[in-house]
Amino acid sequence: MTTDRYNPRETEPRWQKVWTDRRSFEARHDPSRPKYYVLEMFPYPSGRIHMGHVRNYTMGDVIARFRKARGYNVLHPMGWDAFGMPAENAAIERGVHPKAWTYDNIAAMRGQLKSLGLAFDWSREFATCDPAYYRHEQEMFVDFLKAGLVERKVSMVNWDPVDQTVLANEQVIDGRGWRSGAVVEKRELAQWFLKISDFSEELLTALDGLESWPEKVRLMQANWIGRSEGMRFSFTLEDENGKALPDKLAVYTTRHDTIFGASFCALSADHSLVRTLEPEIPGLAEFRREVAALGTSEESIERAEKKGFPLKLYARHPFRKDVRLPVYAANFVLMGYGEGAIFGCPAHDQRDLDFARKYGLPVIPVVAPNGTDPSQFVVGNEAFLEKEGDQTVMINSDFLDGMTVPEAKEAIARRMEALGIGERKVNYRLRDWGVSRQRYWGCPIPVIHCAKCGVVPVPKQDLPVTLPEDVTFDRPGNPLIHHPTWKSTTCPTCGGAAQRETDTFDTFIDSSWYFARFCSPDAKVPVDRAEAKYWMPVDQYIGGVEHAILHLLYSRFYARAMTLTGHLDLKEPFASLFTQGMVVHETYHTEGGEWVLPAEVARLGEGYVRIATGETILTGGIEKMSKSKKNVVDPETIIERYGADTARWFVLSDTPPERDIEWTENGVEGAWRFTQRIWRLVADVQQKGAEKDFPSAISADALDLRRATHRTIAAVSEDLGALRFNRGIARIYELANALAAALQKNDRSDGMAAAIREAGETFVILIAPMMPHLAEECWRVLGHSSLVVDQSWPKAEPALVTSDEVTIAVQVNGKRRDEIRLPKGLSQAKVETAVLALENVKRALDGKPVRKVIVVTDRIANVVSG
């Protein structure tokens, strides 16, 4: 017998234990079955899960459970992206060791994820900070090194002189270190780079094959790779007196057509020519320092006021012998792109225009809308940029006059090639990936520096190079440098005294191959090729769009690099990608502007008050849940109060998964009430649906219920397969209504009992991916000793699915609230019953009595309330 109320607190841990004991979700290589690898981006062990995790992992879980029921051999693993700064910050601020902090957090979060009943194969779990994981990362780095995929280069970093540390671009705020507040300097440092730029073209063109990726992500990646077709050409240089100099100035441009509009040249402050001139020109050193304080981020450079410093040099115009262009060092020219030098054409580039206005340089338009009189066309404070589809013509441009822009580009390219001063060049914005970090809590870079032999990779038999645990955080800089002994070692080549590299890897490396490691988490090699061949690629990858660029691009590169070094045989690691929306919530604050947790607030009349004090609370708008605005709801509290199934159901309902979902108390209450309703419904099914077999002829009502059941199977299967969870759920509500209606009528017509049983059992299997615990409990109530988790997904009988159906728009008091699919020509009474049972209609009625229902056959049903 069932009790009146469904009590998730009792059932959920019980079913979780059953699944664990039966190893229900452990995946085993089985070539006789089709595999399905579903993966959600693994979490950083911050200490607690948040609602974003709940939404993300629930989606993956529904897919995993659904695919399993459909007969796939499912791999659904979980691990921890466990290296990174926050662990070190905790060490500095609170004196806990990063390792202890990290593993404690993992333990806490593992418990929280388990309480959600997620169908993970926990036997494959690892953390990237486990030496057993990162030793393989080190091994692959050594292989990459041998394969020429790695380079050691001097590069510019943001240096915090107080904290004695390198800062990431995001850690530089208005030119100052985020923690110390010190003015950031630029420093040159020898660092390791992975040569991702060798793959620019390949990573770009292969995007076309990623048809199951969101278009916007593919576009973001394409922009990031940033292919452009242009020219590299050289100017001859002269001094103020017109004396020719030996040096030439090479520039990169995509607008060689605008060469007759050139009015200056600009060099990056780090350009070799500028460096050479620094001691000769007073004030130049100061200017370079000022530019350095902008840091290395393109964004801050873009935002800064455009400034230059005249170098007392001139570039001779290649086609106008009487024109020479002043040469500047400028803060907006990047060293890492093209040649680190440009010619400026103010009329057709906004940065160049701002610069020209500031320094009084000529502005000569050379492209104009078709039909413009060249002598009348002027450029004011906005550069003239042609938009796609514009009809334009070259003006003021000598032999180019009258041409279109593409014609002019071609003409200039030919001339320059003929003169031997330039060539066509494809450029990519994508830079090599700098992977050295001057940090403790990361994977040690496995190389040794020997005074005699130079850089020597650590021999494989000496791996892993493990992090020392006895480190201190009492002074600025990298603890690995301060460690008394760790870095002293002997050179593997000559046996002499040598030093370990004290830099560690960028944590993006850790997450660039973890998905491959999950295929064989205990292998003695980084990846067991046979396992990876079976499981890879990931069939469905799910994560936030904030990782659309770097993480995914690095992973795509890693798959290629691993393939080149024989660790994998695959190019694209993620066959299909889904980027879910965020969880948002109303923000609350006091009149004084202090943010207040939703849990501390209660509704009072039209407004809100703080429960503890009664003071007035104001709302500040719906925003992404964040600690800073305190608009967070703790999943643990929700699970304790309502159970995991309610939370899971809520995060999937109503809102399409790619959109932001608003967390509301009402919504959660609604999901909770539905779990209770299911519980009562199933108890009723068990009583009234005693038959298993259908008689040879069944009543019209029984047939109706069967049709509802099979149509729901068809629709939910399609919706879950396409990740339209909210739509699948809406269909499940409809089936609940149909089943409830049949039960209520106490109809004993032929076949009804079997139809009820069929509907009830189907219903339980259909809700199982979303509410797995409740489903198991209901399955037991229905008299089964098997588990729902082991049931196959029901099949829709085609004859019961196809029927003449129409979509009827449902209104309440003339306002559209829903729609419903019903058999064509259905009687007024039946339409009325179906419509009144809709959740959206009930919500819109808000308890008001129904006066009448106006039905326009097969088109509209309007519910009019009293």
- Please identify, among the stretches 19-27, 216-224, 341-349, 751-759, the one whose residues bind ligand ANZ according to the rule CB under 6 A: 341-349
| Bridge partners of residue 852, in order along the sequence | 864
Q: Does 263 bind ligand ANZ (CB under 6 A)?
A: no
254 binds, options Zn ion, ligand ANZ, none, Cβ within 5 to 8 A by partner type? ligand ANZ
> At its nearest, how many Å lie between ligand ANZ and the CB of residue 379?
11
80: nearest Cα among 115, 125, 127: 127
Q: Does 491 bind Zn ion (CB under 5 A)?
A: yes
Name the residue nearer to ligand ANZ (CB basis): 338 or 689: 338
334 binds, options Zn ion, ligand ANZ, none, Cβ within 5 to 8 A by partner type? ligand ANZ
Dihedral class, residue 838 (left if φ above 0, else alpha if ψ from -120 to 50, else beta): beta
From candidates 135, 136, 255, 567, binder to ligand ANZ by CB under 6 A: 255
Q: Which residues of 24-80 form beta strands (DSSP E)?
A: 35-40, 73-75
> At its nearest, how many Å lie between ligand ANZ and the CB of residue 337?
4
Q: Does 334 bind ligand ANZ (CB under 6 A)?
A: yes
* DSSP 8-state class, residue 476: S
494 binds, options ligand ANZ, Zn ion, none, Cβ within 5 to 8 A by partner type? Zn ion
d(CA 213, CA 565): 27
156 binds, options Zn ion, ligand ANZ, none, Cβ within 5 to 8 A by partner type? none
Q: Does 337 bind ligand ANZ (CB under 6 A)?
A: yes
Q: Does 343 bind ligand ANZ (CB under 6 A)?
A: yes
Q: Does 254 bind ligand ANZ (CB under 6 A)?
A: yes
Residue type, 332: F
Tell me if 734 sits within 8 A of 786, measured CB to CB: no
> At its nearest, how many Å lie between Zn ion and the CB of residue 486?
19
> At its nearest, how many Å lie between ligand ANZ and the CB of residue 266?
8
Name the residue nearer to ligand ANZ (CB basis): 139 or 349: 349
Q: Does 427 bind ligand ANZ (CB under 6 A)?
A: yes
Name the residue nearer to ligand ANZ (CB basis): 226 or 477: 226
| Share in percent of the chain as helix, strand, coil (round to 5) | 40, 25, 40
Name the residue nearer to Zn ion (CB basis): 447 or 723: 447
Q: How many residues in the shown chain lie near ligand ANZ by CB under 6 A?
A: 18
Q: Does 253 bind ligand ANZ (CB under 6 A)?
A: yes
Tokens of 130: 């486990």
Name the residue nearer to ligand ANZ (CB basis): 338 or 442: 338
Name the residue nearer to Zn ion (CB basis): 197 or 493: 493
> At its nearest, how many Å lie between Zn ion and the CB of residue 547?
41
235: nearest Cα among 397, 418, 419: 419
Q: Does 526 bind ligand ANZ (CB under 6 A)?
A: no
From candidates 46, 164, 197, 228, binder to ligand ANZ by CB under 6 A: 228
143: nearest Cα among 513, 507, 571: 513
340 binds, options ligand ANZ, Zn ion, none, Cβ within 5 to 8 A by partner type? ligand ANZ
Name the residue nearer to ligand ANZ (CB basis): 430 or 708: 430
In this structure, the strands spanning 540-544 and 577-580 are parallel
- Please identify, among the stretches 142-150, 291-299, 492-500, 594-602, the one whose residues bind Zn ion according to the rule CB under 5 A: 492-500
674: nearest Cα among 721, 733, 617: 733
> At its nearest, how many Å lie between ligand ANZ and the CB of residue 547?
24
**DSSP per position, 506-520:** -HHHHTTSHHHHTTS
- Please identify, among the stretches 243-251, 494-502, 535-543, 566-574, the one whose residues bind Zn ion according to the rule CB under 5 A: 494-502
Q: Does 349 bind ligand ANZ (CB under 6 A)?
A: yes
Name the residue nearer to Zn ion (CB basis): 414 or 452: 452
**DSSP per position, 235-304:** EEEEETT--EEEEEEEEEES-GGGGGG--EEEEETTSHHHHHHTTTSTTHHHHHHHHHTT-S-HHHHHHS
**DSSP per position, 14-26:** HHHHHHHHTTTT-
- Please identify, among the stretches 246-254, 408-416, 542-550, 743-751, the one whose residues bind ligand ANZ according to the rule CB under 6 A: 246-254
Q: Does 599 bind Zn ion (CB under 5 A)?
A: no
* DSSP 8-state class, residue 386: P
Name the residue nearer to Zn ion (CB basis): 426 or 497: 497
> At its nearest, how many Å lie between ligand ANZ and the CB of residue 325?
12
Name the residue nearer to ligand ANZ (CB basis): 38 or 334: 334
Q: Does 184 bind ligand ANZ (CB under 6 A)?
A: no
Tokens of 827: 């009687």
d(CA 410, CA 655): 51
d(CA 444, CA 465): 6
- Please identify, among the stretches 156-164, 169-177, 248-256, 503-511, the one whose residues bind ligand ANZ according to the rule CB under 6 A: 248-256
> At its nearest, how many Å lie between ligand ANZ and the CB of residue 435?
23
In the window 395-454, what residues touch Zn ion (CB under 5 A)? 450, 452-453
Buried/exposed 52-76: b ≥16 CB within 10 Å, e otherwise: bbbbbbbbbbbbbbbbbbbebbbbb
| Bridge partners of residue 73, in order along the sequence | 35
Q: Does 816 bind Zn ion (CB under 5 A)?
A: no
For 394, other C-beta atoms within 10 Å of its C-beta total: 24
493 binds, options ligand ANZ, Zn ion, none, Cβ within 5 to 8 A by partner type? Zn ion
Q: Does 252 bind ligand ANZ (CB under 6 A)?
A: yes
Q: Does 228 bind Zn ion (CB under 5 A)?
A: no
Spatial neighbors of 431 by CB under 8 A, at least 6 apart, are 197, 336
Measured CA angle at 296 (ends 291, 299), to 5 deg: 95
521 binds, options Zn ion, ligand ANZ, none, Cβ within 5 to 8 A by partner type? none
Dihedral class, residue 360 (left if φ above 0, else alpha if ψ from -120 to 50, else beta): left
Spatial neighbors of 464 by CB under 8 A, at least 6 apart, are 131, 134, 135, 138, 444, 446
- Please identify, among the stretches 205-213, 330-338, 597-605, 668-676, the one whose residues bind ligand ANZ according to the rule CB under 6 A: 330-338
User: Helix (H) and strand (E) counts for the chain?
Assistant: 27, 35
Q: Does 333 bind ligand ANZ (CB under 6 A)?
A: yes
- Please identify, among the stretches 177-185, 333-341, 350-358, 491-499, the one whose residues bind Zn ion according to the rule CB under 5 A: 491-499
Q: Does 791 bind ligand ANZ (CB under 6 A)?
A: no
Look at residue 606 and give its three-state secondary structure.
coil
d(CA 11, CA 25): 19
From candidates 27, 62, 127, 342, binder to ligand ANZ by CB under 6 A: 342
Name the residue nearer to ligand ANZ (CB basis): 427 or 555: 427
From candidates 8, 117, 340, 657, binder to ligand ANZ by CB under 6 A: 340
| Bridge partners of residue 327, in order along the sequence | 265, 313
d(CA 263, CA 342): 11
Spatial neighbors of 595 by CB under 8 A, at least 6 apart, are 587, 588, 589, 620, 628, 629, 630, 631
**DSSP per position, 74-125:** EE----B---SHHHHHHHHHH---HHHHHHHHHHHHHHHHHHTT----GGG-
Name the residue nearer to ligand ANZ (CB basis): 408 or 538: 408
> At its nearest, how many Å lie between ligand ANZ and the CB of residue 278?
19
Site string for ligand ANZ, 289-328 (x = CB under 6 A): ----------------------------------------
d(CA 620, CA 637): 23
Residue numbers at the binding site for Zn ion (CB under 5 A): 450, 452-453, 491, 493-494
Residue numbers at the binding site for ligand ANZ (CB under 6 A): 226, 228, 252-255, 258, 333-334, 337-338, 340, 342-343, 345, 348-349, 427
